[in-house]
Amino acid sequence: MKVLKIGIALSVLFLVGMAVSTRWQVREEEKSLQEKVLSGGKKLVSLLSLFPVTSFDDNRRALFFRTLIDTTSPDGLVYFVLHDDGTNKTLALIPHDEIGIPEDVETNAHLSMGLIQQSFIDRLSEKKIYEFAKPIFEDGKKAGTLRLGLQIPSVSFFSASRTSFIAMLAFVIFAAVTLVYYSFSIALRPLGRLQEEFKDTRVRSASLVSSSLKDGRIGPVLDSLERFLGELRSKIVELEQENVKLASKLGVIRFQKNQIMTILDSINFGILITDTQDNVTHMNDYMLNLLKKTPEEVIDRPLGEVLEHQEITSFIYQRETLNTRKNAGHVETVFPDRAPGEIFQVFCSSLTDMDKTVIGRTIWVKNVTADKAAEKSQHEFIAHVTHELLTPITNIKSYSEMLMDGEIEDGETQKEFYNTIHQETDRLRDLIQNLLNISKMEMGNLTVNKGLVKTEWFAEDCLSTIEASAQEKNISIEKKLPDNFPSLIADKELLKAAIINILGNALKYTPEKGTITFAITETPDAVAFEVMDTGCGIGEKDLPHIFEKFYRSADVSKTVGSGLGLAIASEIVHLHDGKIQVQSEPGKGSHFTIRIPKQEHYLGKT
């Protein structure tokens, strides 16, 4: 179809071109003819005017005609007249009857004394006629006027030579075009077939095209293409394999990364990682929970914005600029609106790459509230223990000093003082024993050496430790002891320590003139030791906690002591598979009961 269009276009162009050139050619011809006519006319008329009038008779007429006709074309010659001035007659050699010559033209011609050229348009044929008039002179007188009318012969548009020329040209062009078209067609046919085949070829096809097409020039080109394609194919296969390898590597890396993230998230302190621009790159769950943010809100945000915590950010930057280990590697701070009442320690260190370049920072946030509380209670414990130890020591020192200074003259008082010193050393020993026990308990080293315990002596032992102090406080001791003292298998020292602790508490918390009752009772499978006092009692809130290590009541009046006594007692009772119970009412007193199961007693078994 394109070809047709091209053909039509070409034809049109050709025709137009032809028309234009032909017209131009015609015009040129006309112009030259015109010149020829003009110059020819002048010459002719000048030449002919040399002949006398009389020579224009019949003899010469034919000669003149021939000459005229030879010089002009047949249709160029319009008329040829001679006016004889002598006879005043006009001899029309070639008449101009059909031509209407305008009057003024005629007049001018007649009047002129020399060559005169005029032109006018013939009314009938509408052609331009050129008239050449010249007077004939004989003997110095005008004898006549010669008038020659010429016109430009029409140029035939389709003259024979022109037509044939055009025809030939047209043929040549047509032939050429056809030839070119077909030769291109033929030359491009293989490509057309290639195109068809290529439509179905894919990268993986065995070969580009069927070998039937590989003829002529196309063949080598196709071969090169195939070679090239082969290289591409193998390259693609390589890349695909690489891709698979990379994908699996990526999978492994992702998995490992996930593992690490999971580990980070399972840690119970906060981890925050930033890059060198101080934008957050990762936060573990703990941290996200603490700040109550989602990952989307924090990743790639500046650190300051995310933390909203003046103290921490200034600590981090301080550390950076000082770059020493002099200052604490951490700062202690709080997050008042996120975790009120909790204390946190914040650590910071640089994150480095394998080649030691700094790629960011790691920030740890640890909740140390519990640790701090533990530290505090440890301090308190030590303070109390020290105080408790120093008290008997002070007593011993003071009393013995007074005795040494001889200030005590009274024998009774002296005895009293010696007694006190003696008791206080026991008190000290018991205290230290308690401490040792508690230490062993903490370490899990408390060993129970069970033996036969005769409760009669046992009761005496225990009560003797508080007798003197009770007396001083005017506290009366009641004993409710059975007639038949039971025996049991137990660790005497430990049991004693337990009971002494309870008795000591009773003593401490019973005011002056109160009563402490000590009772031993027996059941078929156990022995019960009871201590009752009329002291200040134990509050409801404290009751469940009193056997806990280091437990101190919130009530200020009850914080004398280390908080260990009952804990030790409780532990000892449990080591004996026994039970310890307490009943108490604030203001009314307390009632402690220890039940130790009896065991078949026989010597030699532990």
Partner 1 sequence: MIDDEAHIRRVIELKLKNRGYAVVTASNGEEGLYLIHRERPDVVISDIMMPRLDGKTLCEVTDDLKKDRSFLTIIMTCRISPEEHEWVDGMQETLFMEKPFSPARLVRSIDEYFHAQEK
User: For residue 79, what are the β-bridge partners?
Assistant: 149
For partner 1, which is the closer residue by CB, 403 or 543? 403
E strand or H helix at 13: helix 2-48
Whether residue 75 contacts residue 179, with contact meaning beta carbons closer than 8 Å, is answered with no
Supply the minimum distance, in Å, between the C-beta of residue 398 and partner 1: 4
What are the b/e assignments for 60-75, b being 16+ CB within 10 Å?
A: eeeebeeebeebbbee
For partner 1, which is the closer residue by CB, 552 or 591? 552
For partner 1, which is the closer residue by CB, 264 or 408? 408
For partner 1, which is the closer residue by CB, 447 or 557? 557
SS3 content of the chain, % helix, strand, coil (to 5): 50, 20, 25
Residue 154, SS3 per DSSP: coil
Whether residue 129 contacts residue 149, with contact meaning beta carbons closer than 8 Å, is answered with yes
Contacts 24+ apart (CB under 8 A), 67-74: 68/44, 71/40, 71/43, 71/44, 72/37, 72/40, 72/41, 72/44, 72/150, 73/153
For partner 1, which is the closer residue by CB, 41 or 561? 561
E strand or H helix at 58: helix 58-71
For partner 1, which is the closer residue by CB, 140 or 406? 406
Q: Which residues contact 33 (CB under 8 A, 6 or more apart)?
A: 76, 152, 153, 155
The conformation of residue 209, written as its DSSP 8-state character, comes to S
Supply the minimum distance, in Å, between the C-beta of residue 532 and partner 1: 22
Question: Longest C-alpha distance within the chain, in Å?
Answer: 216
Q: CB 527: neighbour CB atoms within 10 A?
A: 23
Nearest residue to 151 via CA among 29, 26, 23, 30: 30
Helices and strands counted in the chain (H then E): 14, 17
Whether residue 495 contacts residue 453, with contact meaning beta carbons closer than 8 Å, is answered with yes
Residue 488, SS3 per DSSP: strand
Supply the minimum distance, in Å, between the C-beta of residue 515 and partner 1: 18
Supply the minimum distance, in Å, between the C-beta of residue 335 and partner 1: 26
Query: What are the structure tokens assigned to 289, written together?
Result: 């929970």
For partner 1, which is the closer residue by CB, 213 or 343? 343
Residue 337, SS3 per DSSP: coil
Q: Which residues bind partner 1 (CB under 8 A)?
A: 379, 382-383, 386-387, 390-391, 393-399, 401-402, 405, 407-408, 413, 420, 424, 469, 472-473, 556-560
Supply the minimum distance, in Å, between the C-beta of residue 399 and partner 1: 6
Query: What are the structure tokens assigned to 572, written together?
Result: 């000892």
Residue 346, SS3 per DSSP: strand
User: For residue 521, what are the β-bridge partners?
Assistant: 528
Supply the minimum distance, in Å, between the C-beta of residue 601 and partner 1: 41
For partner 1, which is the closer residue by CB, 417 or 485? 417
For partner 1, which is the closer residue by CB, 328 or 383? 383
For partner 1, which is the closer residue by CB, 472 or 548? 472
Supply the minimum distance, in Å, between the C-beta of residue 552 and partner 1: 11
